[in-house]
Structure 1
Amino acid sequence: MKLKTIINYLLVAILAVQLVSCDNKETLDSPFNATPTERLNAKQKELNDLLQSSEFGWKAIYFTDTTQLGGFTHVFKFKDGKVDMASDFDDDTAVYPSEYSIGLGSTVSLIFTTKNKIHLLSDSNNYPTAALRGKGYKGDFQFSYYGQDNGQIVFKTNRSFEELRFVKATATDWTDLAKNRAMIPNVVGASTRPLFRLLETNDGTKVSQFDFSFTAPSRYATANSIETGSSVTSNMGIAYTPTGIIVSPAVKVGTQKLSVFTFDAATGNFNATGTGGATASIRYSNKPLVLTDDYKPLLAGNTKTVYAYIAANLATAPTNSLLCNSILNAINASLPSTQKVNRVTFNFNDGANGSYISYSFTGGKATLYHFVKVTEDPVNKTLILTNDGWLGGSEPALLKDLDKQLLDTKGLYVKKESFRITFSNSIYTFTSASSNFRITTYAFQ
């Protein structure tokens, strides 16, 4: 073989060896050379270091199910498997210690291993409404880690795979939990303000209105468009803040989404502001946004109808106003301990008896009957009840305040509600047109 050929072969061999050497070095240096377990262990350490890195811990506003529940603020401080935790779930906003772990499975998870405030959301026996019986607040205590985004820790819930973000807490976040709780009466609505509320949006060119109803135990509000033929809703879960509320889903105003509402103490409104004139406001109204004809079957000349407030089932109805509850409580407090208001029944067009309100009691106290004449205000669509005499004599002093509300000279708004309470009977509410009185009843026809 010629010397030149031999040299060429040697050069090719040397180049091949160098290429193999470089390839082996790249393989050894590649992160893909790590085993799945090694990668999970690295991720586990990353999360644990991250959890312990914030001076004042982390804050999370946890919306467990925005189709029926609101948000609950939690703050956490992590250190070596221990976690201090507080929340605005209830009035107890104190800090409690417990334990956590970083779990390894198909992914890395944060697990709150011993009972603390966040477990109140996952307890199936702890439920805010009858519809959630056996489901609780649908919360989790295990969260899958999905990395970081703009300084926030991104998790997904184990049960529903919903995103949950931890943001760095401040020193005031821990003390603000009590201020969150102080905001609740403003969301529920003050007894000194009108009973009716609305959500009003303005995208800069069009104003839209939605009726607004809030249920405090579930922290959830329903808002339905009042436009004829419209089925648009803006239902929302509500989380409390020291200065107002955060809602989820956000309220759509044109092309924008508004989620942060600030409380205005002067008006009682909650206001959100976007750009280009976009606004949203939860405000009070002196009358229902939509006046119904639900009162008409109660007028003279129709068939017999009966509606009854039954204390055993309706005393805690969310549609009873604070004024109604306070009047009923005052009546009960004035009676012997064995006697309480049992029922308030509206009887309309009962043959020769006409129309009347009956008040019955427990403990053997006799039922009291107040006969009434029934007319209407067709413009304001109210039912007007006027005195037609008491069975057996004059008005009992015991019932003076309650009877005054039911015989409001401006009448009563009558509304067939869309929900049920305990039984399948339709729910009707009777609301004073001039005060903050509203009583909830079952329909018996």
Structure 2
Amino acid sequence: MKRFFLYLFVAMAALSSCQKEEKSVFDQTPDERINAALAKYQADVLSSPNGWKALYRTGTGQAFNFYFTFNNQNRVVMYSDFDTATTHPRESSYRIKALQQPCLIFDTYSYLHMLADPNPYVNGGDAGAGLVADFEFAIDTVKGDTIKLKGRQNGTELDLVKATQHEADLWTKGDWTRALGLQHITDFLTYFKRTTIGGVDVDVEFYHYSRQIVFFTYNSSGIRTPVTASFVYRPENPNGAVFTNPVKIGTATISSLTDMTWANGKVNTKVNGTTNIAIGEAIAPVVVNKNGATSWWLYKIQQGYWVNLGFHQNGVDDAFGVQSIPGFYYMAYLPAYDTATKTTYWDWMAYAAVKDNILTIPNSSSFVPTFITDGRAIFNTYKPDSANAPLYVTLTTAAFTDPQGYYFLQVGPTTIDMVGVRDAKTWLRWYWVE
């Protein structure tokens, strides 16, 4: 037994001696290794003499082009095709920092932040979420001419690719703005934007932030069918909007709209780089749906009501200021309300607001439609505005009772647009609520 303990003591002593002689497999401390990695990545972002180009796809699926130049003072100058304003340079700060792993952080408000902004008026996204974009990125890999980044919050991917001098010039000399000519469609004041493609007259809707173009075709009854194309902007070869997937209209299969110019109140462009078309204002549907107005009104059998957020007029949303009502909720219209007694609330519209968590009706009106055989509805009021009615009420009443009336166009299963016949510059969007 004594011999056993002697052997055990010798073994433990030998093991202790070996442990004292162990050395770290690294030549640097963890902090030194982290700092070295950060310095390397800092050198990487500074390594492109002509800056970096990037195609960034948000969490909601839209694709935006960017151009970045970084300096050694932690400043970055960027351009974007987010809108025409963002094709001008904007400077902000950046950092290379260790946050569990090396990260590239854009830490002051920039064009990237605009995509993530929770205010829907900034980017057209959902309130509180924006376009589900990132501005803090983990550095994934650096290989060849590409730095791959991954968003820390939403997992979006941003690949920085070294730009050529020519690609840099496209941004810094303003050539990129030519690719954004389709945005001029939003300069039209009329609801209808008209062109002819493949022998078919179509209306065009342009959604810049969602990167979509919708072509509306009509059948002989005036029923519209949307044909939707998602697109990415390209500065050249071709210059303009390149569709993610081609769409077919009439005899034409469309893969791009390029070489855009804005002249004489029209957007002039080429289909697939060859066929010239012009998009301009129109004041009536291609074919009027003669049942559109009555279909809207007869939706009452669904036991619900229509709501809207105020009139759009001459390019201005909520042109009459109904959303300035304290606690504004919506404007609600109940078709043929109280039909048994035909009271003054026949076809009643309420200006609804919320106060102390209670729904209130600070003002109301009555607009009764007369349906014309050509598809229009003309409204009269059976509840005149009081002498001291707010301006938003009198303006709304004046618009509703325009003697030329309104067209009604189906937008979605429970969404209908009411468009002024006079000049198509006044319209209202209805949403059905059950």
Q: TM-score, normalised by structure 1?
A: 0.59
- 1:214-225 to structure 2, matched below 5 A, reads 214-216=206-208, 218-224=209-215
Contact preservation (8 Å) 1:298, 1:348: no
Residue 285 of structure 1 aligns to which amino acid in structure 2? A
Find the aligned partners of 1:345 and 1:126 in 2 and give their Cα distance. Answer: 25
Find the aligned partners of 1:96 and 1:162 in 2 and give their Cα distance. Answer: 18
> Which residue of 284, 288, 291 maps to 1:287?
284
> Which residue of 265, 268, 272 maps to 1:267?
265
Aligned match of 1:414: 408
Residue 383 of structure 2 aligns to which amino acid in structure 1? W
Find the aligned partners of 1:408 and 1:126 in 2 and give their Cα distance. Answer: 34
> Which residue of 361, 368, 371 maps to 1:376?
371
Find the aligned partners of 2:233 and 2:133 in 1 and give their Cα distance. Answer: 16
Find the aligned partners of 1:395 and 1:291 in 2 and give their Cα distance. Answer: 39
Which structure 1 segments of 5+ residues have no match? Answer: 1-40, 148-152, 420-425
Find the aligned partners of 1:77 and 1:321 in 2 and give their Cα distance. Answer: 42
- Write out per-residue CA displacement over residues 168-209 of structure 1, whole angstroms, 9 at most, x where no aligned residue: 34457247499689979734333xx311235653xxxx3345
Find the aligned partners of 2:367 and 2:140 in 1 and give their Cα distance. Answer: 62
- Write out per-residue CA displacement over residues 19-41 of structure 1, whole angstroms, 9 at most, x where no aligned residue: xxxxxxxxxxxxxxxxxxxxxx9
Aligned match of 1:5: none
Q: Is residue 347 of structure 1 aligned with residue 334 of structure 2?
A: yes
Aligned match of 1:196: 192
SS in 1 for 2:62: coil
Aligned match of 1:390: 383
Shift in CA distance, 249/405, structure 1 to aligned 2, threshold 3 Å:
same
- 1:174-253 to structure 2, matched below 5 A, reads 174=172, 176=174, 186-190=184-188, 193-198=189-194, 200-201=196-197, 206-208=198-200, 211-216=203-208, 218-224=209-215, 226=217, 233-237=227-231, 239=233, 246-249=241-244
Contact preservation (8 Å) 2:333, 2:350: no
CA positional deviation for 1:349: 2.1
Aligned residue-pair number: 357
Find the aligned partners of 1:160 and 1:278 in 2 and give their Cα distance. Answer: 37
Aligned match of 1:258: 256
SS in 2 for 1:400: helix
- Write out per-residue CA displacement over residues 275-303 of structure 1, whole angstroms, 9 at most, x where no aligned residue: 5x434555433223464434224558985
SS in 1 for 2:256: strand
Q: Of Structure 1 and Structure 2, which has the larger fraction of its residues in strand?
A: 2
Aligned match of 2:79: 87
CA positional deviation for 1:136: 3.7
Residue 270 of structure 2 aligns to which amino acid in structure 1? A
CA positional deviation for 1:438: 1.6
CA positional deviation for 1:49: 9.4
Contact preservation (8 Å) 2:46, 2:71: no
Find the aligned partners of 1:301 and 1:188 in 2 and give their Cα distance. Answer: 31
SS in 1 for 2:258: strand
Residue 69 of structure 1 aligns to which amino acid in structure 2? Q
Find the aligned partners of 2:162 and 2:187 in 1 and give their Cα distance. Answer: 30
Find the aligned partners of 2:179 and 2:276 in 1 and give their Cα distance. Answer: 26
Residue 85 of structure 1 aligns to which amino acid in structure 2? V
CA positional deviation for 1:234: 3.6
Shift in CA distance, 323/246, structure 1 to aligned 2, threshold 3 Å:
closer
Contact preservation (8 Å) 1:384, 1:409: yes
- 1:21-420 to structure 2, matched below 5 A, reads 48=44, 51-54=47-50, 57-64=51-58, 68-71=61-64, 73-79=65-71, 84-88=76-80, 89=82, 93-99=89-95, 112-115=104-107, 117=110, 119-120=112-113, 123=116, 128=123, 136-138=131-133, 141=137, 158=150, 167-168=163-164, 169-170=167-168, 173-174=171-172, 176=174, 186-190=184-188, 193-198=189-194, 200-201=196-197, 206-208=198-200, 211-216=203-208, 218-224=209-215, 226=217, 233-237=227-231, 239=233, 246-249=241-244, 254=252, 257-274=255-272, 277-279=274-276, 282-289=279-286, 291-292=288-289, 293-298=291-296, 303=301, 307-309=305-307, 314=309, 320=312, 325-329=317-321, 343-350=330-337, 351=339, 352-353=341-342, 355-360=346-351, 367-372=363-368, 374-379=369-374, 381-387=375-381, 389-390=382-383, 398=391, 399-418=393-412
Find the aligned partners of 1:332 and 1:119 in 2 and give their Cα distance. Answer: 30
Contact preservation (8 Å) 2:92, 2:106: no
CA positional deviation for 1:306: 5.8
Q: Is residue 438 of structure 1 aligned with residue 432 of structure 2?
A: no
- Write out per-residue CA displacement over residues 299-354 of structure 1, whole angstroms, 9 at most, x where no aligned residue: 589858764446xxx46xxx94555635322x677xxxx76866533332231327
Aligned match of 1:30: none
Find the aligned partners of 2:115 and 2:377 in 1 and give their Cα distance. Answer: 45
CA positional deviation for 1:407: 1.9
CA positional deviation for 1:403: 1.7
Aligned match of 2:8: none
SS in 1 for 2:394: helix
Find the aligned partners of 2:141 and 2:185 in 1 and give their Cα distance. Answer: 33
Find the aligned partners of 2:267 and 2:419 in 1 and give their Cα distance. Answer: 22
Find the aligned partners of 2:224 and 2:63 in 1 and give their Cα distance. Answer: 25
SS in 1 for 2:264: coil
CA positional deviation for 1:258: 2.0
Find the aligned partners of 1:289 and 1:414 in 2 and give their Cα distance. Answer: 13
CA positional deviation for 1:428: 3.1
Residue 264 of structure 1 aligns to which amino acid in structure 2? W
Contact preservation (8 Å) 2:118, 2:126: no
Find the aligned partners of 1:263 and 1:86 in 2 and give their Cα distance. Answer: 25
RMSD between aligned residues:
5.2
Find the aligned partners of 1:196 and 1:78 in 2 and give their Cα distance. Answer: 44
- Write out per-residue CA displacement over residues 148-178 of structure 1, whole angstroms, 9 at most, x where no aligned residue: xxxxx56777557798765434457247499
Shift in CA distance, 176/299, structure 1 to aligned 2, threshold 3 Å:
same
CA positional deviation for 1:266: 1.7
Residue 358 of structure 1 aligns to which amino acid in structure 2? M
Residue 107 of structure 2 aligns to which amino acid in structure 1? K
Contact preservation (8 Å) 1:430, 1:438: yes
Find the aligned partners of 2:201 and 2:146 in 1 and give their Cα distance. Answer: 35
Find the aligned partners of 2:418 and 2:376 in 1 and give their Cα distance. Answer: 10
